[in-house]
Amino acid sequence: MTFQQLEAVYWVSSLGSFSAASDRLFVTQSTISMRIRKLEKELGVDLFDRSSNTIQLTLSGLEFMQYARRILDLRTELVQNVASSDAFSGQVRLGVAEVVSSTWLPKLIESISAQYPKVRLEIEMALTEELVEALKRGTLDLILAPGKVPTTGLTTVTLGAVEFSWMASPVLGLGHVMRTARELAQWPLVGLSQQSYHHAVIEHWFRRSNVRCHYQIRCKSIAVAASMVVAGAGIAYLPIRCFQRELDAGQLELVETSAIKNVEFMAAMTADEINPLSMRISDLARQVSDFQQIDWH
């Protein structure tokens, strides 16, 4: 019996298909099937019920999974606490939000390369909901994204918070006066798509004041949204540090409101994650992040 066989059974069961498990483990589907067949032959029992179209564990498979998870967890704990950095190799599929990619992501990549020279990174930038769904599907190993902790089904590490503010072009004349949600709702909004955490924050803020906002433009990039605001297309809720240059140049101005100033960020992996490398990189992200530290108590 090998760890590869244990992982094959574990990921087929967790992800619900042989193809998803093969993608997760970077091997062919036939390799996954072969590993499980050899294990079943060694044990003398069927671990999966192959009489239907859905992947289901047999009673023996359910019992086996209890032991497999404990063994894999112990291996993860051992590697996490004992192995040297040079012992880690392979690929990590990292999903990041735009604010992370435009701030300290290069520093994180540099740190990963220095500490884990045998590790390859595959980086995908997307909106929060898209990243979380990819994480749950098993197509990403780790994400760095906005969101509160704890999050159901995910193991998370806080990365701090970023200060956001409503911004507008000075030509609109919205600065220098405290504005209410009802006042801002009268102006066209430039926002991100509904798959973004950004969208949820904005909607919640307006609903608390019992008003409905009007989106003039929706896009998938904060940088694009900011460029539209500079052009006078509307107002947007943007991270201050990412657009300080435009603020200093007078292309944008802050609009004072009672809006929540801080948006929290997290490193997250699925709660059943058994990859010690993802755990180490999430901890490294916490160390590298220069976002504002949060007191959760």
pLDDT at 297: 42
Residue ending a domain, among 61, 82, 103, is 82
List beta partners, residue 164: 239
Is 294 part of any domain?
no
Residue 150: cis peptide before it, omega within 30 degrees of 0: yes
Angstrom distance (rounded) from CA 184 to CA 122: 40
Question: Would you say 254 and 167 are in contact if contact means Cβ atoms under 8 Å apart?
Answer: yes
pLDDT at 72: 83
pLDDT at 85: 66
pTM value > 0.95: no
pLDDT at 176: 84
DSSP character at residue 86? G
Q: Could you tell me if 166 and 257 lie in one domain? A: yes
Number of structural domains, the chain? 3
Question: Would you say 111 and 177 are in contact if contact means Cβ atoms under 8 Å apart?
Answer: no
Q: Could you tell me if 20 and 97 lie in one domain? A: no
Q: Could you tell me if 156 and 275 lie in one domain? A: yes
Q: What is the CATH number of the domain that holds 256?
A: 3.40.190.10
The pair of structure tokens assigned to 50 is: 């192959």
pLDDT at 116: 87
pLDDT at 136: 82
Angstrom distance (rounded) from CA 187 to CA 253: 15
Give the total residue count for the chain. Answer: 297
pLDDT at 98: 95
The pair of structure tokens assigned to 187 is: 């102006």
Angstrom distance (rounded) from CA 101 to CA 162: 13
pLDDT at 296: 44
Q: Could you tell me if 240 and 96 lie in one domain? A: no
Is 296 part of any domain?
no
Q: Dmax of the chain from CA atoms?
A: 77
**pLDDT string in tens for the chain (297-residue length):** 888 899 899 888 888 888 888 887 878 989 999 999 999 999 999 999 888 778 889 899 899 988 888 888 787 777 766 666 666 677 889 999 999 999 999 999 999 999 888 888 999 999 999 999 888 888 898 999 998 755 667 788 899 999 999 999 999 999 888 999 999 999 999 998 888 888 888 888 899 889 988 888 889 999 999 999 999 999 999 999 999 999 999 999 999 998 777 889 999 988 666 677 888 899 999 999 999 876 544
pLDDT at 168: 96
pLDDT at 274: 64
Domain, as residue range, for 90: 86-160+263-288
Q: What is the CATH number of the domain that holds 12?
A: 1.10.10.10
Q: Could you tell me if 139 and 78 lie in one domain? A: no
Q: Could you tell me if 172 and 232 lie in one domain? A: yes
Q: Could you tell me if 269 and 156 lie in one domain? A: yes
Q: Could you tell me if 194 and 153 lie in one domain? A: no
pLDDT at 80: 65
Is 293 part of any domain?
no
Angstrom distance (rounded) from CA 190 to CA 218: 6
Q: How many helices (H) and strands (E) does the chain have?
A: 12, 11
CA 288 vs CA 108, 146, 159, 224: distances in Å: 6, 16, 9, 26
pLDDT at 1: 86
Q: Could you tell me if 32 and 20 lie in one domain? A: yes
Could you tell me where the beta strands, DSSP code E, fall in the chain?
48-49, 56-57, 90-96, 119-125, 142-146, 154-168, 188-192, 214-219, 236-239, 253-255, 262-270
Q: Could you tell me if 13 and 57 lie in one domain? A: yes
Residue ending a domain, among 82, 116, 151, is 82
Q: Could you tell me if 125 and 201 lie in one domain? A: no
Q: Could you tell me if 149 and 175 lie in one domain? A: no
Residues 275, 277, 281, 283, CA torsion sign: positive
pLDDT at 224: 95
Is 297 part of any domain?
no
